[in-house]
Amino acid sequence: MQASEICFLSAEQLAAEIRARRISPVEAVDAVLQQADRLNGELNAIVTRTDERTRQQARDAEAAVMRGDALPPLWGVPITVKDLHLTAGIRTTLGSKLFENFIPQQDQPIVERLKQAGAIIVGKTNTSEFGLIPLAANALFGESCNPWDTRYNTGGSSGGAAAAVACGMGPLATASDGGGSIRIPASFCGIFGLKPQMGRVPHVPFPRGWESLSHQGMLSRTVRDTALALDVISGPHALDRWSLPKVGRSFLDACTGDARGLRVAWCARLGQLPVETEVYHVCEQAVKRFEQLGCSVDTLELDLPDLGPAQQTIVLCEAAVGMQERRAEWEQTIFPPTRKMLPNADKLTYYDLVRAQWAREEYWEKIGPLFDEYDALLTPTAPITATLNGTLGPKVIEGRAVRALSWLGHVVPANMTWQPAASLPVGFDSLGLPVGLQIIGRRHDEWTVLQLASAYEAAHPWAQRRPPIVGE
């Protein structure tokens, strides 16, 4: 099999080929590293590479295959790790000059479990500084470019991860989502991303911050790959007080390709936020396809508040306290678009923080009853397609002036309510930029989210679409 073909195998397919000795871990790793050599200079997706270490691990993995050892589910599969996730012995910068040369001594739980499952890390992917803005850009490495059009950003903060997966630099990438940071890059880069229920994947924050918002997960090109990874990375952890017990069944079993009988609601403008016309029409067509799959679909207009300001209050308070000891040093090196966050944080009081926490509960009181009637809620993942590099997104959407970062208004609520939510690619705008549709599930119900996404993918597969930068 040619290297270009290996790069676009799913993790599930690649693991099966390795077990059958039709592809070796060395071949798989070499193919992915060659792809990075060819494309990463334009994309800036992977910011730290570990070629020597990676190739040695691939040789060790190949020896185990040839010995006939019992192999865990991701044996020999090359992956990338977001640069917010600690990796023992591998530089972890958190997108900040403060940690430019930081090499952790331990893995975070998501990394530890992927390694135990046999995955091989090929590098660390670009992010925003401490994940604070929804783009992949920082003062240390610069911006990650969208593989569908390099004038645009990947979205963030898991943007380098999304670009790497979209372009065949590993079928799986770790990601995290405190306000859309899995789903926005998935939408902008045309791949699949699931933000699990809070606590489904354990996390030990470093530095402190995002503790009541950040959900850990994966980016992939297929729904089944995400389900396979979720089987590996989910489950309780002694150091995460919010971590959840195992669900008792495989998430892969949710990927039946059948969603008949499920009831879903469709709301195009969550919180009355404006949506670009092209995005609206692409998502509306995708919703009609769910009806063709046998789902019952109701169109709703929901009178819901904008949770963005409350989420930002929580983020700013936690970030300011988490970095208090290094505040003066941080102010000298901070990424310019993030700089204004510090004085804004200084203006906040405990009244503001408590009101922000109450806002999330009041929101749940309004939206929670919806899930007594419906299995899921569909919305656009974002009201826009990818933002131009060098910007934080539009100030006007469909002729209406909007507050900064209001385009996160469809994804932030699921972080505040802790519900599982996914973005699946459903089409393109007239510029050829991907459009994502969001599926928000009931609390603790990743199963139905995966079931719906799998059914859509089976009827309208997307993994064969490759960004122009990849070539034939």
**What DSSP letter does each residue of 106-149 carry, written as one string?**
S--HHHHHHHHTT-EEEEEE---GGG-SSSSEETTTEEPEETTE
Residues contacting residue 196 through CB under 8 Å, at least 6 positions apart: 215, 216, 217, 230, 234, 420, 446
Write down the domain spans for the chain: 3-470
Residue 63: Cβ-neighbour burial (10 angstroms; 0-12, 13-18, 19+): exposed
Task: Report yes or no on whether pTM surpasses 0.85.
Answer: yes
Alpha-carbon span 407 to 426, nearest angstrom: 18
From the candidates 82, 115, 124, 195, give the one annotated as an active-site residue: 82
- Band of residue 292 on the pLDDT scale cut at 50, 70, 90: very high
The residue that leads in pLDDT, 472 or 394, is 394
Can 97 be counted among the known catalytic residues? no
From the candidates 10, 24, 157, 187, give the one annotated as an active-site residue: 157
pLDDT of residue 472: 63
Fold of 3-470: Amidase signature (AS) enzymes (3.90.1300)
- DSSP assignment of 347-393 equals T--HHHHHHHHHHHHHHHHHHTTHHHH-SEEEEES-SS-PPBTTSS-
Phi-psi region of 170 (alpha: psi -120 to 50; beta: other; left: phi over 0): left
Residue closest to 130 by CA, chosen among 90, 92, 174, 164:
92
CA distances from 55 to 91, 356, 412 (A): 17, 48, 39
The gap between the terminal CA atoms of the chain, to the nearest Å, is 16
What would the pLDDT profile of 25-77 be if each residue is shown by its tens digit? 999 999 999 999 999 999 999 999 999 999 999 999 999 999 999 999 999 99
With beta carbons less than 8 A apart as the criterion, state whether 289 and 456 touch.
yes
Can 181 be counted among the known catalytic residues? yes
Quick one: tokens of 167?
A: 């372009």
From the candidates 24, 128, 181, 423, give the one annotated as an active-site residue: 181
Can 423 be counted among the known catalytic residues? no
What would the pLDDT profile of 423-464 be if each residue is shown by its tens digit? 999 999 999 999 999 999 999 999 999 999 999 999 999 999
